[in-house]
Structure 1
Amino acid sequence: MNVGIDKMSFYSSDMYLDMVDLANARNEDPNKYLIGIGQKKQAVIPNTQDVVTMAANACTKIIDDDNRKKIDLIIFGTETGVDNSKSAAIYLQNMLGLNRRARAFEVKQACYGATAGLQMAKEYVQNHPERQALVIGADIARYGIKTPGEVTQGGGAVAMVISANPAIAEFDGPSTFYSDDVMDFWRPLYRTEAVVDGHYSNDVYVDFFKKTWDEYKEITGQTIADFKAMTFHLPYPKMGIKALRSIIDEADEEQQANLKKEFEQGRIYNENVGNLYTGSLYLNFLSLINNSDDLQSGDRIALFSYGSGAQGEFFSMKLKDNFRNDELAKSLDAALKSRKQVSVEEYEEIFTNWIPIADGDIKLDTSNDKAEFFLEGVKDHQRIYGRK
């Protein structure tokens, strides 16, 4: 029985910061960001959006009366949770009017959370083929103003419906995984900004990729020639480029050219949105299937997931006949093109107005938030959500 991704969508803020503007404001050569990091723009997330509202806004594009009745597993992968106890999945279940007879919970392991959810959803649907699962990867990447990680900020949510006989892609064979206790990136409970050792994290990322790739080849007998494209967790595009370069010599010249070409199609959304932690791999995958002209049903796509701290996983999916939804692709392209560019000063003001980790009621101005779901504020220690 085939199980895989039946539907998927993406949501992010309607504001962005141009990396050339940021580079000029920080007295850096713009090419350090455009080429050295591979980032063109990054989403600027207002305080009226959090991971719950962004997930809900993504889900409205793929939840209908049919799958709303079938979904009884809701897994929310995030490292930007809104409560240390109550899961974002429970909020989301209520906001979308999903089945009450459902398992709903949150998964955390840095940027790996959505992949953990995806693998759990796969096994659940294999055992219950008449049911479906909703998997979310949503995060807001914050490192701080004038920090080395500032250029790798961003945010958004990717939503996926997992089912039997999926329309987009089916799981193809086993996964390989590797984990170790390393301090390359973390965020203490008392901080809204992450702590990161960037160079070390890059090294660990590539090391975990090669370890899982080598094991995958060993247990499956497959080689790089068996893959039409490779997708990666992309906190910024250059990280995926480094991973691909570490094994590209295993391919012949024609295959190398093809893999590089498909990587360019897969990076389009990421380089214009920025880092969304748990959703970054799946935004890369979505960008690939929406932008590549060469993909066909049956093509095998590699996926490498990485979460700092650290966990890596390599797995494969095969594209199905209806892997591209032209209507959703056009809608996403239109949303990205219609975003408002903000100045560095405006971005800094938005960043500093983020809801603090502190006691007290907060009333937010939602008049400029055009999203269907939004955060109104905090009252009596409870987040108050609104819907247009």
Structure 2
Amino acid sequence: MKIGIDKIGFYTPHLYVDMNKLADARKVEPEKFIIGIGQEKMSVPPITQDAVTMAANAALEILEESDREKIDYVIFATESGIDHSKAAAIYVHRLLGINPNARSIEVKEACYGATAAIHIAKGHIALNPESKVLVLGSDISRYGLNTSGEVTQGAGAVAILMSANPRIIAIEDPSAYHTEDVMDFWRPLYSNVAFVQGKYSVELYISFFQNVWEQYKKKTGLELKDFESFCFHLPYTRLGLKALKTVIDEGAEEEQERLLANFELSRSYNKVVGNIYTGSLYLSLLSLLELNTDIKAGARIGLFSYGSGAVGEFFSGIVEPDYRDFLYVERHGKLLSSRREVCISEYEEIFQETSLADISGKKFPIEKDPAVICLAGVKDHMREYVYKCNEI
């Protein structure tokens, strides 16, 4: 039985910062951000958007009533959770009107979380073939103003509907995975920004990729020539290219050209959204599938997932026939093109506003946010989510 991605959608807030202008404001050569880091724009979340609303907005566009009835598991992967106890999945479950006879949980392992969720979903569907599982990867990447990590911030969510007989990609077995207890990136409970040892994290990312790639080849007998493309977790888009270049010589010249060309397409969305942590790998996959119109059914795509701390995994998927009929290319293009650029001072003001630890008793200006689902405020320490035209 094939199990995999039946539908996939994403959401990012309606505001962004231009990296050229951020570089000028930080007195950095723009080429360092645009070329050296590989980022062109960075999504900026207003106070009316958090991990819950972004995930709900991402899922809203892909779910039909029949999906809502068959979903019996909602798995929310995030490192931007809003509660130490209650799963963010429960809020989304209600906002989307999903079948009440369902499990709803939150999972965490840095940026690896959504990959863990996909494999949990795959196991559940193997035992329950009629089930559908909603996997959500939603995050706000924050390092602070005028920090070395500022250029790798971002915000957004990816929603994936997993099912038997998927219409987009069937996930293959086996995977290769690796865990080490390291401190390359972390965010303690008392901090609303992350801490990172940048150079060390890059070294680990690349070494983990090489480790799981070697494992994968031994397990499967597959080689570089067997892949149409590789997609990477992209905290910044240049990092995936660095990893790819460490193995690219294993292929013939034609294979190298194909993999490099497809990598460029796979990072297109990430370059203008920024780092979305758990959803980053799957935004890259979506970018590849929507922008490369020549990928044929049966093509194999390699997927490298990395979550600091650290867990890495390499696995693969096979593209299904007529997969393009089930993508939302026009809708996603409009989402990105309709965003509004904010100046640096407005971005800094929004950053400070959304950094407040105590927002209880406040109302937020949802009329300024074009998203369907918004955070309207906090009352008695409870977040009030609004489905516009239908307050829930």
User: How far apart in 1 are the matches of 2:375 and 2:192?
Assistant: 17
Does 1:343 pair with 2:346? no
Equivalent residue of 2:324, what SS?
Answer: coil
Q: TM-score, normalised by structure 1?
A: 0.99
Does the residue aligned with 1:114 lie in a helix, a strand or coil?
helix
The residue that corresponds to 1:65 in the other structure is 65
Counterpart of 1:136 in structure 2 is: 136
In the TM superposition, what is the alpha-carbon distance from 1:338 to its structure 2 partner? 1.2
C-alpha distance in structure 1 between counterparts of 2:338 and 2:244, whole Å: 32
> Residues of 1 paired with 2:222 and 2:193: CA distance?
40
* Residue in 1 that maps onto 2:240: 240
**For the Cα contact (< 8 Å) 2:235–2:280, is it kept in 1?**
yes
Shift of 1:113: 0.6
Q: Which residue of 2 aligns with 1:259?
A: 259
Task: Give yes or no for contact 2:77–2:114 (8 Å, CA) kept in 1.
Answer: yes
Matched to 1:273, the amino acid is V
* C-alpha deviation, 1:178, in angstroms: 0.2
Once the two structures are TM-superposed, the CA of residue 325 in structure 1 deviates from its matched residue by 3.9
Unaligned runs of 5+ in 1: none
Quote the Cα distance in structure 2 between the aligned partners of 1:330 and 1:233: 24
The one-letter amino acid paired with 2:13 is S
Shift of 1:293: 2.7
The 2-side partners of 1:322 and 1:42 are apart by 32
Separation (CA, whole Å) in 1 of partners of 2:43 and 2:106: 24
How far apart, CA to CA, are the structure 2 residues paired with 1:193 and 1:325?
40
For residue 326 of structure 1, report the CA deviation from its aligned partner.
Answer: 7.0
Encode CA deviations 1:340-364: one digit per residue, 9 max, x unaligned. 1111111101100015223742221
Question: 1: CA distance between counterparts of 2:6 and 2:158?
Answer: 13
CA displacement at 1:27 relative to structure 2: 0.6
Structure 2 partner of 1:332: 332
2: CA distance between counterparts of 1:152 and 1:360? Answer: 29
Determine helix, strand or coil for the equivalent of 2:190.
coil
The question of whether the paired residues in 1 share the 8 Å contact of 2:290 and 2:327 is answered with no
**Deviation digits for residues 217-239 of structure 1, max 9, x if unmatched?**
00111101110000000011011
Aligned to 1:2: 2
Residue number in structure 2 paired with 1:292: 292
1:361–1:40 Cα change, 3 Å? same
Q: For 2:323, what is the secondary structure of its paired residue?
A: coil
Q: Which residue of 2 aligns with 1:182?
A: 182
> Structure 2 vs 1, CA of residues 97 and 183 (structure 1 numbering), >3 Å: closer, same or farther?
same
Q: Which moved more, 1:333-342 or 1:77-86?
A: 333-342
AA in 2 matched with 1:148: S
Give the percent of matched residue pairs that are identical in Structure 1 and Structure 2. 50
SS at structure 2 position matched to 1:324: helix
Verify the 8 A CA contact 2:154 2:276 in the aligned structure 1. yes
Corresponding position of 2:357: 357
**Deviation at 1:328?**
1.1
Tell me if structure 2 keeps the 8 A contact 1:112–1:307. yes
> Which residue is 1:109 aligned to?
109
Q: CA deviation at 1:65?
A: 1.0
What TM-score do the two structures reach when normalised by structure 2?
Answer: 0.98
Q: What residue number does 1:147 align with?
A: 147
Q: CA deviation at 1:377?
A: 1.3
Letter paired with 1:328: Y
Residues 182-208 of structure 1 show CA distances to partners (whole Å, capped at 9, x for unaligned) of: 000001111111101111100000010
Tell me the secondary structure at the aligned position of residue 376 of structure 2: strand
Q: Secondary structure at the match of 1:353?
A: helix
What is the identity, as a one-letter code, of the residue corresponding to 2:48? T
Question: Residues 1-388 of structure 1: matches in 2 within 5 Å?
Answer: 1-325=1-325, 328-354=328-354, 356-358=356-358, 360-388=360-388
The letter for the 2-side match of 1:303 is L
Separation in structure 1 between the aligned mates of residue 337 and residue 325 of structure 2, nearest angstrom:
18
- 1:232-265 per-residue CA deviation (whole Å, 9 max, x = no partner) reads 0001101100110110010111100000000011
Alpha carbons of 1:327 and 1:309: their partners in 2 closer, same or farther (altered >3 Å)?
closer
2:130 and 2:141 map into 1 onto residues whose CA distance is: 36
Please report how far the alpha carbon of residue 327 of structure 1 lies from its aligned counterpart in structure 2 after TM superposition. Answer: 6.3
CA RMSD of aligned residues (A): 1.0
Q: Structure 1: how far apart are the matches of 2:103 and 2:355?
A: 29
Q: Quote the Cα distance in structure 2 between the aligned partners of 1:8 and 1:360.
A: 34
The whole-number CA distance in structure 1 between the counterparts of 2:325 and 2:332 is 11
Deviation sequence 1:254-279 (CA, Å, 0-9, x none): 10000000001101000010000000
Distance 1:224 1:192, change over 3 A: same
2:44 and 2:355 map into 1 onto residues whose CA distance is 15
**Structure 2: tracts of 5 or more residues without a match:** none
- Residues 44 and 347 of structure 1 are in contact (CA less than 8 Å); yes or no, is this contact kept in structure 2? yes
Q: Is the 8 A contact 1:47 1:355 kept in 2?
A: no
Q: Distance in 2 between matches of 1:353 and 1:322?
A: 45
